[in-house]
């Protein structure tokens, strides 16, 4: 299996160069107020910005996963998602769309009714036991994230004997189950900010390369999160610079997809890191062969 390629819309999507996933929140209570879009005009404008700034995927969420977020019914979640999906279906049919949901019925609705392409499940199938079987029948890529408990209670579940070892065991078990069922395209998300303390988030970033053992694409979502603004005594609104720094570290440590609010800045990070790494490769090759490029 080539870990840098997934099948989307009947075609192969290459991740040889990292890509950016732009966040579209159809919610009134996401932790970053600037990301909340609830009218057709605002949603349309956000979609246009995500695509024009260079994102390869649009990730749409109708249920805030911030700690202590209010419960949202499946019906309301579907209605929120439909606002954006109708616009994309009509005006941007070639866009690759990911649905941020842990509910199997919502996933099925988005894929079968509106042609959504990827399911992004923060719960790894733990909050809906039908999710894995649903992914099998839908035949779409699945983003498998690490989290303990629920969004409402996850930050009370941060005690680990060895966090990285336990996360790798979690992923190994889930991947085995998914592949046994016939799921071919799996993307891993280590779940920054989910059931992890500030220090644990930075340990996770420092050890991100240890998840390369699974030979699967790695998604990193740290955009404007508390690991930035709590460390810097700031706010989500003032966390763009910190986000860019962490996105750069993620790319250097093997990240393939950056899930972000600020697409342009992330695309620039991808380009800069790519240029830097191209010279790293050149220098390594020269050292091995004892030659130069001149």
Q: Which residues are catalytic, by number?
A: 225, 259
DSSP 8-state assignment for residue 70: P
C-alpha–C-alpha distance, residues 21 and 57, integer Å: 5
Q: How many residues can be counted in the chain?
A: 294
Tokens 């919502």 label which residue?
106
Give the other-Cβ count within 10 Å of 245's Cβ. 13
For 122, the token pair is 């923060």
Return the bridge partners of 167, or none: none
Least Cα distance to 240 among 215, 258, 216, 222 occurs for 222
Please spell the DSSP secondary structure of 7-18, one letter per residue: EETTEEEE-SS-
C-alpha–C-alpha distance, residues 173 and 169, integer Å: 6
């Amino acid at each position: 299996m080539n870990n840098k390629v997934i099948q989307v819309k009947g075609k192969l999507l290459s991740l040889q160069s990292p890509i950016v996933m732009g966040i579209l929140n159809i919610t009134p209570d996401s932790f970053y107020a600037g990301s909340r879009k609830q009218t057709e005009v605002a949603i349309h404008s956000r979609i246009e910005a995500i695509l024009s700034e260079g994102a390869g995927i649009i990730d749409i969420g109708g249920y805030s996963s911030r700690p202590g977020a209010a419960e949202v019914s499946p019906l309301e979640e579907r209605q929120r998602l439909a606002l954006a999906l109708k616009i994309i279906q009509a005006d941007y049919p070639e866009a690759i769309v990911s649905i941020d949901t842990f509910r199997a019925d919502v996933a099925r609705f988005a894929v079968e009714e509106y042609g959504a392409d990827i399911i992004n499940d923060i719960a790894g199938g733990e909050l809906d036991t039908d999710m894995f079987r649903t992914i099998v029948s839908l035949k779409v890529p699945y983003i498998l994230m690490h989290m303990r408990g629920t969004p409402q209670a996850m930050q009370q579940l941060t005690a680990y004997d060895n966090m990285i070892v336990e996360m790798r065991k979690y992923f190994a078990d889930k991947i085995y189950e998914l592949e046994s069922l016939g799921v071919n395209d799996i993307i891993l998300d280590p779940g920054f900010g989910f059931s992890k303390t500030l220090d644990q988030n930075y340990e996770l970033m420092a050890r991100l390369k240890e998840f390369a053992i699974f030979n699967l694409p790695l998604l990193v979502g740290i955009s404007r999160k508390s690991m930035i603004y709590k460390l810097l005594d700031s706010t989500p609104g003032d966390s763009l610079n910190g986000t860019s720094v962490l996105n750069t570290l993620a790319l250097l440590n093997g990240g393939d997809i950056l899930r972000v609010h600020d697409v342009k800045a992330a695309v620039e990070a991808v380009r800069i890191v790519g240029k830097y790494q191209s010279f790293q490769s050149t220098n390594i090759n020269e050292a091995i062969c004892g030659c130069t490029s001149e």
